[in-house]
Amino acid sequence: MPLGWIAGRANMLAMSWWLALTAARLNDPAALDLRFNTGLAGFPNLISRKGSDELEASFTSSASKEYFKIAVSTVGFGTEKTSLGTFSSYRFWDTDPLERSDYGLQPKKSQRILISGGGDGSLQDFIRVSTTAHSARQVYDALPLMPALRAALESAIQSAEDQAERAYLWGTPGNLSSPARDHAIHERLHQAFVSQVDVIAGYPVIWPRVMAALSKIVRPSGTADIVLVYPCGHFDRCYALNRFLVLLLAKFYQVTRGTRVLYPNVKVSGVTGVTHGCANDPAACYGKTHDVSFNASACYGFPSPASMTYPGSDHEIVLLRHGITPPASVYRPLAVSIQFPRQIMPYYSPW
């Protein structure tokens, strides 16, 4: 593979790809013409030129037209939604200081951290800022669960995930004209995970050991006040390990420190600098106090709770993980919407 990879942090993977790409450009600059800050001015046109069909394209960095035999649209998933008004947080793939012992900030009594979103990005960030572990797997492996209990836990989770995947075949994400029929699937799956955390908490011998093991991984009390808000009563489609660990860590905070870290049905509606003006610069805003406003929220087509409790408004670190803006294809003006595949493999190999 031209851009190989091994499991690791997103920013380190991106850095290794950048080095490989730079080396390729230096080795053969004539074959690889890489242009930054350049987009298509309009869409390619198929024309007849010099006796053959070619694609005629114009770019924003040049007024002249250029001609190609092949065009490949590799627009990716899109652009992360990490901005709200004039405020922008670090993106998921950015290199950030969140895993440092002091979060890269001057020492103070406690940093107030707000994470907004219900997908893997927000859950992964929650694990990063709340623990000293190098990966979600390291947290899970540290849990002192008896083999039989671990097997029962994983079997229950596998069954719940399998049922959800098969239910997705009949669901729809929802849009402005129809409710999100996936909501019931998400809700049922989420509660299955909550129940498994409660099962572990119900063992009078195992549970104290689990709390003791987590206390060695969770950052010390007073390091940060962490809050995760998400727009419905459940998380979105996400990795099972992320979902389980966030719910388990939330239970840990509740039991050992008497603090609430999860706020469902809450959506961030605004972020404003308290003593500074935000200019969509994540590094400039990081560590400075922001006033965050909230609204009640739910999946489209479903009512939000009548009575709501919101977290405090002041936060030094705000991480927005609000999904992805679909990209525009080079072949048509409409954005390419991201749809999860509505299919599933059978229990046997079809090959």
From the list 120, 14, 86, the residue with the least C-alpha distance to 282 is 86
| Burial class (CB within 10 angstroms; exposed 0-12, middle 13-18, buried 19+) of 337 | exposed
Other C-beta atoms closer than 10 Å to the C-beta of 152 total 14
Q: How far is CA 158 from CA 155, 162, 190, 343, in A?
A: 5, 6, 13, 17
**N-to-C CA span, the chain:** 25
For residue 24, give both structure tokens.
């390729």
Please write the tens of the pLDDT for every residue from 287-306: 999 999 999 999 988 889 98
* The pLDDT value given to residue 35: 85
pTM: 0.83
Return d(Cα 186, Cα 179) in angstroms, integer.
14
Domain ranges of the chain: 10-68, 79-325
Is the Cα torsion angle 135, 80, 181, 299 positive or negative in sign? positive
* The pLDDT value given to residue 347: 61
* The pLDDT value given to residue 29: 86
Is the Cα torsion angle 138, 143, 148, 151 positive or negative in sign? negative
For each of the chain's 351 residues, which pLDDT tens digit applies?
778 888 778 788 888 999 999 999 899 888 888 888 888 887 888 888 888 899 898 888 887 899 998 888 777 778 899 999 999 999 988 889 998 988 988 777 678 999 999 999 999 999 999 999 989 999 999 999 999 999 999 999 999 999 998 888 877 766 666 767 789 899 999 999 999 999 999 999 999 999 999 999 999 988 899 999 999 999 998 999 999 999 999 999 999 999 999 999 999 999 999 999 999 999 999 999 999 999 999 998 888 998 889 999 999 999 999 998 877 676 665 555 555 556 665 565 555
Backbone angles phi, psi at 198, to 5 degrees: -65, -35
